[in-house]
Structure 1
Amino acid sequence: MDSQMTSICSECGATKIANAEPSDTIPATPETLAGYQLLAASNEPPNSAERAFLQAVASKSAVRLTCLDEEISRLKDRLGQLEAERSQLAGYHSQNVAILSPLRRMPHEILTEIFLWTLPPAASNPDVNESPWVLGQISSRWRAISLSTPSLWSAACLDYGGEPPIPQMIEAQVERAMVLKIHFLGSDAVESVPNTQREMFKTLSEHSGRWEELWIQLTPTLTPQLDELLRGRLPSLRKIYVGFEDPDIELALDSVKCFHTAPALVNATVLMSPKPILLPAHRLTSYRAACPWGDHERVLKMATNLVEAHIAIAFDNEPWPGLNDPPIDINLHRLQRLYVEHVEILNYLRAPLLDELAVDIASREDVLTPLKAFVVRSSCALRRFCMQGAPDADTTPEILNEYPSICSFTVVFTRQRRSKTELANALDAHLTMLTATCDRVAVSPHLTELCLGMTCTFPIDYSLFLEMLESRRGPNFSLQTTTFLAHANQMPEPVTRSRLDALGRGGLDVRLRGGSDSKREIALWLFEMPWLWKR
Structure 2
Amino acid sequence: MASSPRCINCKTKILPTCHYPAVPTATLRSNHTPTHSDVAYIRVVLQEEEQELQRYDEEIESLRQTLERLESERELLTRKIGERRSWLAPIRRLPVEILERIFVQLPTCLNIVGPRQGKGRYQLTSSAITLSHVSFHWRSVATAQRSIWSRIKWARNDPHITMKNDLTPLLDIFLENAASHPLEISIKFPLAYSTIQSSTSAIVERMGTHAIHLLRTLTNQFPRCEVLSITDLEVEALDHVFPHGTTFPLLRSLRYDPQRFRDNNVFKTNGRFWNAIYSAPRLQGISFDTILEPMEHPGRVPWNQLKSIHVDYLVYYRDFLFLVTHCCQLESLEIDVPFAGFEEDDEDEPEWDETIIPVVVPHLQELSFETTSSVVSHALLRALTLPSLERLDFGFGESDNLDSVCESLQTFSSMLQRSSCALTMLCVVIRPRSINERFLSLLPEVLEQLSCLECLQLYVDTPSDRGRTNPGTGGSLHNIIGRICSLLSLSSNRSQTILPKLVELHLDDGFTAPYPSSQMGSVLDVVEERTGPRLDASGRKDISALRDVSISVCLIGKKQELPGIEDRVAALERDLIECSILWDFVES
What range describes the TM-score normalised by the shorter chain of this pair?
0.5 to 0.7
Specify whether residues 409 and 130 from structure 1 end up closer, same or farther in structure 2 by C-alpha distance, changes over 3 A only: closer
Q: Does 1:263 align with 2:329?
A: no
Give the conservation status (yes or no) of the 8 Å contact 1:436–1:443. no
Shift of 1:384: 3.7
Give the conservation status (yes or no) of the 8 Å contact 2:344–2:352. no
Per-residue Cα deviation, 1:91-110 (whole angstroms, up to 9, x for no partner)? 65433222233444554433
State the distance in 2 between where 1:202 and 1:104 align: 42
* Counterpart secondary structure, 2:130: helix
State the distance in 1 between where 2:241 and 2:430 align: 38
* Counterpart secondary structure, 2:320: helix
Q: Does 1:234 align with 2:248?
A: yes
Specify whether residues 212 and 95 from structure 1 end up closer, same or farther in structure 2 by C-alpha distance, changes over 3 A only: same
State the distance in 2 between where 1:479 and 1:467 align: 20
* Counterpart secondary structure, 1:310: strand
* Counterpart secondary structure, 1:262: coil
* TM-score (structure 1 length as normaliser): 0.65
Give the conservation status (yes or no) of the 8 Å contact 1:198–1:222. no
- 1:483: which partner in 2? 549
Per-residue Cα deviation, 1:203-255 (whole angstroms, up to 9, x for no partner)? 32222221011122133345863996588611101122222335245635449
* Counterpart secondary structure, 2:389: coil
Match of 2:570 among 477, 480, 501: 501
Match of 2:331 among 279, 300, 307: 307
* Counterpart secondary structure, 1:265: coil
State the distance in 2 between where 1:212 and 1:380 align: 34
Give the conservation status (yes or no) of the 8 Å contact 2:477–2:513. no
Specify whether residues 378 and 141 from structure 1 end up closer, same or farther in structure 2 by C-alpha distance, changes over 3 A only: closer
* Counterpart secondary structure, 2:468: helix
Unaligned runs of 5+ in 2: 1-70, 114-121, 196-205, 371-375, 531-537, 554-558, 583-588
Unaligned runs of 5+ in 1: 1-83, 515-535
State the distance in 2 between where 1:284 and 1:206 align: 25
Give the conservation status (yes or no) of the 8 Å contact 2:109–2:126. no
Specify whether residues 201 and 362 from structure 1 end up closer, same or farther in structure 2 by C-alpha distance, changes over 3 A only: same
Give the counterpart letter for 2:156 in structure 1. Answer: Y
Shift of 1:89: 7.5
Per-residue Cα deviation, 1:479-529 (whole angstroms, up to 9, x for no partner)? 732522669xxxx99963421233456x66662189xxxxxxxxxxxxxxx
Within 5 Å, which residues of 2 pair with 1:63-462?
93-104=81-92, 106-120=94-108, 125=113, 130-162=126-158, 166-177=167-178, 178-189=181-192, 192-193=206-207, 197=211, 199-222=213-236, 225=239, 229=243, 233-249=247-263, 251-254=265-268, 256-272=274-290, 275-276=293-294, 279-290=301-312, 291-292=314-315, 293-314=317-338, 316-318=342-344, 322=352, 324-325=354-355, 327-341=356-370, 342-343=376-377, 344-363=379-398, 364=402, 365=405, 366-378=407-419, 380=421, 382-390=423-431, 392=435, 394=437, 395-406=439-450, 407=453, 408-416=455-463, 419-422=466-469, 425=474, 428-436=478-486, 445-447=497-499, 448-449=502-503, 451-453=505-507
Give the counterpart letter for 1:512 in structure 2. Answer: S
Give the counterpart letter for 1:404 in structure 2. Answer: E
Give the counterpart letter for 2:505 in structure 1. Answer: C
Give the conservation status (yes or no) of the 8 Å contact 1:271–1:289. yes
Give the counterpart letter for 2:446 in structure 1. Answer: E
Per-residue Cα deviation, 1:59-118 (whole angstroms, up to 9, x for no partner)? xxxxxxxxxxxxxxxxxxxxxxxxx99999876543322223344455443333333333
Root mean square deviation of aligned Cα: 4.4
Give the counterpart letter for 2:86 in structure 1. Answer: A
Shift of 1:338: 1.5
* Counterpart secondary structure, 2:478: helix
Shift of 1:153: 0.8
Shift of 1:386: 1.9
Give the conservation status (yes or no) of the 8 Å contact 2:156–2:190. yes
Give the conservation status (yes or no) of the 8 Å contact 2:391–2:424. yes
Specify whether residues 122 and 378 from structure 1 end up closer, same or farther in structure 2 by C-alpha distance, changes over 3 A only: farther
Give the conservation status (yes or no) of the 8 Å contact 1:285–1:306. yes
State the distance in 2 between where 1:509 and 1:462 align: 28
* Counterpart secondary structure, 1:225: helix
Specify whether residues 113 and 263 from structure 1 end up closer, same or farther in structure 2 by C-alpha distance, changes over 3 A only: same
Give the conservation status (yes or no) of the 8 Å contact 2:368–2:394. yes
State the distance in 1 between where 2:412 and 2:135 align: 60
Match of 2:525 among 443, 466, 470: 470
Specify whether residues 458 and 288 from structure 1 end up closer, same or farther in structure 2 by C-alpha distance, changes over 3 A only: same
State the distance in 2 between where 1:454 and 1:436 align: 16
* Counterpart secondary structure, 2:234: coil
* Counterpart secondary structure, 2:184: strand
State the distance in 2 between where 1:262 and 1:245 align: 24
Specify whether residues 509 and 130 from structure 1 end up closer, same or farther in structure 2 by C-alpha distance, changes over 3 A only: closer
State the distance in 1 between where 2:335 and 2:395 align: 11
Give the conservation status (yes or no) of the 8 Å contact 1:383–1:405. no
Specify whether residues 227 and 455 from structure 1 end up closer, same or farther in structure 2 by C-alpha distance, changes over 3 A only: farther
Give the conservation status (yes or no) of the 8 Å contact 1:288–1:310. yes
* Counterpart secondary structure, 1:271: strand
Equivalent pairs: percent with the same residue?
17
Specify whether residues 337 and 465 from structure 1 end up closer, same or farther in structure 2 by C-alpha distance, changes over 3 A only: farther
Which one is further off, 312-321 or 337-346? 312-321
Within 5 Å, which residues of 2 pair with 1:17-32?
none
Specify whether residues 444 and 109 from structure 1 end up closer, same or farther in structure 2 by C-alpha distance, changes over 3 A only: same
Give the conservation status (yes or no) of the 8 Å contact 1:381–1:405. no
* TM-score (structure 2 length as normaliser): 0.60
Shift of 1:158: 0.7
Q: Does 1:512 align with 2:553?
A: no
Shift of 1:354: 1.7
Give the counterpart letter for 1:436 in structure 2. Answer: S
- 1:11: which partner in 2? none
State the distance in 2 between where 1:471 and 1:109 align: 43
Per-residue Cα deviation, 1:438-495 (whole angstroms, up to 9, x for no partner)? 99977984233453355967687594454223146386995732522669xxxx9996
State the distance in 2 between where 1:274 and 1:358 align: 24
